[in-house]
């Protein structure tokens, strides 16, 4: 009996109620190594080259080999930050990207909630329409929206009775037109992701909130949104990155930045400096600034969520 009792006693760390530590060491890194190598080749090296070129005077003469690249250090950044147009474009980019993010999240979340309220056939039709918008190339979608809002042949002006009003002539109307197209092609990602998160919420929680007399807006604000915060974090960060570096829609719909550059954003501004003006070093400096801004925004957002007790 003593031997039996002695044999049933747990050994090692289990005697103190602690689970044994999993052994592995470098094993996870071996599994991640192929993906890390691909990311290093596709992301890290181009960013390194971007930062390197931003430190040199690199124009068409250096590209063709007629002159050697001259090291400028922070010269390109000094020229950039002393340019008043850069600050105007930066402000316009931040405001435009913020408007796109808020609008995309609002439309995507509203339609995600709607998907949970409609029957199977309308749900399938809405999902197919949204995925069609998501799959449409940016150039094609921008061209279609230009045709819809064309001052001569577009159906929108006829329905609204605006005559030959040009949406791309004014600065704010052009930004509004581009914003609508960006939201149209971006909301499906938010809608599908949030809808999947809502379906994972236990139905008992929603039924209890409804029995307590909570409205749909109250259920979303007090029940769904807190439970979906990790998912909302992902879609928000993705939307910030996508909308801050919008290029195709602005370039196509405003013909390269609008009249006298009134609709320029940082990505189009960098393109003009690098390729239209052959100032590749200055264009690279703008690209580096964009990368740093996006990294800062993402890190600050994640830090705020961690302070609120969210596990990411």
Tens of pLDDT, residues 164-210: 889 999 899 999 999 999 999 999 999 999 999 988 888 888 788 88
pLDDT digits (tens, 9 = 90+) for 76-98: 999 999 999 999 999 999 999 99
Reading the block at residue 176, the tokens are 């509004």
Q: What are phi and psi of 98, to 5 degrees?
A: -65, -45
State the alpha helices, DSSP H only, in the chain.
2-7, 27-39, 45-53, 60-63, 75-81, 84-115, 120-135, 138-148, 155-160, 171-200, 203-211, 216-219, 225-227, 229-244, 248-253, 266-271, 280-307
Residue 311 confidence class, pLDDT cut points 50, 70, 90: low
Lookup: tokens for 162: 């605006």
More confident residue, 251 or 229: 251
Q: What is the pLDDT of residues 201-219, one digit of tens each?
A: 888 887 888 887 778 788 8
């Amino acid at each position: 009996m003593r031997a039996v009792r002695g044999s049933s006693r747990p050994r090692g760390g289990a005697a103190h109620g602690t689970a044994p530590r999993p052994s592995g060491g470098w094993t996870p890194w071996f599994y991640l190594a192929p993906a890390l190598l691909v990311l290093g080749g596709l992301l890290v090296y181009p960013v390194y080259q971007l930062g390197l070129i931003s430190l040199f005077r690199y124009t068409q003469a250096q590209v063709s080999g007629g002159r050697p690249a001259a090291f400028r250090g922070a010269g390109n950044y000094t020229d950039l930050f002393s340019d008043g147009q850069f600050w105007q474009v930066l402000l316009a980019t931040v405001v435009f990207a913020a408007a796109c993010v808020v609008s995309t999240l609002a439309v995507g979340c509203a339609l995600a909630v709607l998907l949970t309220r409609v029957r199977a056939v309308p749900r399938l039709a809405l999902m197919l329409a949204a995925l069609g918008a998501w799959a449409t190339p940016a150039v094609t979608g921008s061209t279609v929206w230009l045709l819809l809002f064309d001052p001569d042949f577009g159906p929108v002006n006829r329905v609204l009775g605006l005559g030959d009003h040009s949406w791309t002539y004014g600065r704010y109307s052009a930004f509004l037109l581009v914003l609508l197209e960006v939201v149209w092609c971006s909301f499906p990602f938010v809608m599908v992701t949030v809808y999947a998160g809502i379906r994972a919420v236990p139905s008992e929680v929603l039924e209890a909130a409804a029995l307590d007399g909570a409205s749909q807006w109250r259920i979303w604000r007090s029940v769904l949104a807190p439970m979906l915060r990790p998912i909302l974090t992902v879609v928000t960060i993705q939307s910030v990155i996508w909308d801050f570096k919008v290029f195709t829609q602005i370039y196509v719909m405003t013909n390269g930045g609008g009249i006298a550059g009134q609709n320029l954003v940082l990505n189009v501004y960098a393109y003009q400096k690098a390729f239209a003006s052959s100032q590749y070093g200055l264009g690279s400096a703008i690209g580096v600034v964009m990368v740093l801004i996006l990294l800062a925004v993402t890190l600050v957002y994640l830090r705020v969520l961690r302070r609120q007790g969210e596990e990411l």
